[in-house]
Amino acid sequence: MTYQFTSESVSEGHPDKISDLISDRVADYILAGNDTHRAAVETLVTTNMVTIAGEYKSTVPINKEHIEEIVRGVVREIGYEQEGFHWEHLKVYNELHGQSPDIALGTDDFGAGDQGLMFGYACKETPTYMPSAIYYSHKILQYLASERRISYSWLGPDSKAQVTMEYDSVNNPVRVSKVVCSSQHTEEFTLDAVKDGIKELVIKALEEAGAPIDDNTEYLINPTGKFVIGGPDGDTGLTGRKIIVDTYGGYAPHGGGAFSGKDCTKVDRSAAYMARYLAKNIVASGQAKNATVQLSYAIGVVEPTSVYVYADGVVRQDLAYELQQKVDLTPKGIIDRFELFGLDLTKTTNYGHFGKAELPWEITDLFDGS
């Protein structure tokens, strides 16, 4: 018996992703590669307005004017110059303030920045060990973003893609069943011309990615019709609302914590990266076709409160024990292993925090055969 599974992705111009990118870039500025600095930055975007709030700790003064420059630079880089959201005209409100000394007590010695549970996942469906539906959804939007900047100037920055995969009876993805893609556009072409143009790009993106599309693959392009008003002028955005897009497209559990805007003493972020590293290394070494790893922590406590491995449908306590012997799972151990205070956080923001070869937690070096 076959079945279907669906995942979605959103573009860099989606309101929530604008918020994520601003939060990550401001966090990068605050952290400045200094492992004594801390950041937890949240951003709200709406019609011609950006509001930043959150907490930070820094040994040097934070320049509010520079933060405003960062905000405008992000919006300009993405490509927003429309009446309702323009990098030059929008208002910027900065409500950042110092970190609570009570929280600092737990993190100054690299205890976990909060309690929580984080999951990592890997499978053999794609070359990046990511599930196929989220993998192809990201590929569509990366292709649209690239083409928008080269020759398809009638495309706007705000877009979404959703891919439905069909699986066979032994859980192998066999074909792309349905594709949904909605993209902002200008008014210079008819709606039919816009739909045809987007569909052509979607098919090219899937072909380049090696997706198993066929003559029966169904395409739903801008199904509501007109999509001229987009971005924060059409829909308010907030940091941390695309956590399923950021991870595995719903194919694996999620602990609930967002990533963007946070320094890596926050295990919401760093332990999720470690859990992915562990899961990917289990699969890459041939010990399983798919693996889920859960890590959990208590605020201010160095060691994880639990380690759980579920591989090929079986709880693997032997692997959980082995991982704890092989890898330092403390927040500092994770930070040092991946050199997270030297990481450009914005390299993670768009099109998933996992599956990108240049990110240090994607290395397969833990087991023989990885």
CA 256 to the chain's CA centroid: 13
- Give the Cα separation of 243 and 271 in Å (integer): 15
* Cβ 116 vs Cβ 266: under 8 Å: no
Which residue has tokens 């400045």? Answer: 32
- Give the Cα separation of 295 and 275 in Å (integer): 7
Strand pairing of 314-315 and 306-311?
antiparallel
Question: Which H or E element spans position 336?
Answer: helix 331-338
The closest alpha carbon to 246, from 95, 125, 359, belongs to 359
- The answer, yes or no, to whether residue 218 has pLDDT greater than 70, is yes
* Cβ 59 vs Cβ 37: under 8 Å: yes
R_g of the chain, CA atoms, integer Å: 21
- Give the Cα separation of 297 and 314 in Å (integer): 23
Cβ contacts of 130 within 8 Å, gap of 6 or more: 122, 123, 248, 352, 354, 355
- Give the Cα separation of 40 and 336 in Å (integer): 20
- The answer, yes or no, to whether residue 344 has pLDDT greater than 60, is yes
Query: What pLDDT is attached to residue 107?
Result: 63
Query: What pLDDT is attached to residue 349?
Result: 98
Q: The tokens of 370 are what?
A: 């990885």
For 258-288, the pLDDT digits (tens) are 999 999 999 999 999 999 999 999 999 999 9
3-state secondary structure (DSSP) of residue 176: strand
Q: Quote the Cα angle for 256-257-261, to 5°.
A: 150
Task: Please give the mean pLDDT across all residues of the chain.
Answer: 95
Query: What pLDDT is attached to residue 291?
Result: 98
Q: Give the number of other Cβ atoms within 10 Å of residue 69's Cβ.
A: 13
For 133-164, the pLDDT digits (tens) are 999 999 999 999 999 999 999 999 999 999 99
Which residue has tokens 């709200």? Answer: 44
Query: What pLDDT is attached to residue 301?
Result: 87
The domains located in the chain, with CATH, are 3-9+132-231 (3.30.300.10)
The closest alpha carbon to 25, from 350, 363, 365, belongs to 350
For 109-122, the pLDDT digits (tens) are 677 777 899 999 99
DSSP 8-state code for residue 259: -
State residue 364 phi and psi, 5-degree precision: -110, 90
Helix 331-338 vs helix 267-284: angle between axes, to the nearest 10 degrees?
A: 60
Residue count (the chain) = 370
Residue type, 156: G
- With cut-offs at 50, 70 and 90, classify the pLDDT of residue 243: very high
Cβ contacts of 273 within 8 Å, gap of 6 or more: 264, 334, 338, 340, 353, 359, 361
- Give the Cα separation of 249 and 278 in Å (integer): 19
User: Averaged over 346-355, what is the pLDDT?
Assistant: 98
Query: What pLDDT is attached to residue 369?
Result: 57
Query: What pLDDT is attached to residue 300?
Result: 84
What's the farthest any 2 CA atoms get from each other in the chain?
62
- Give the Cα separation of 229 and 30 in Å (integer): 33
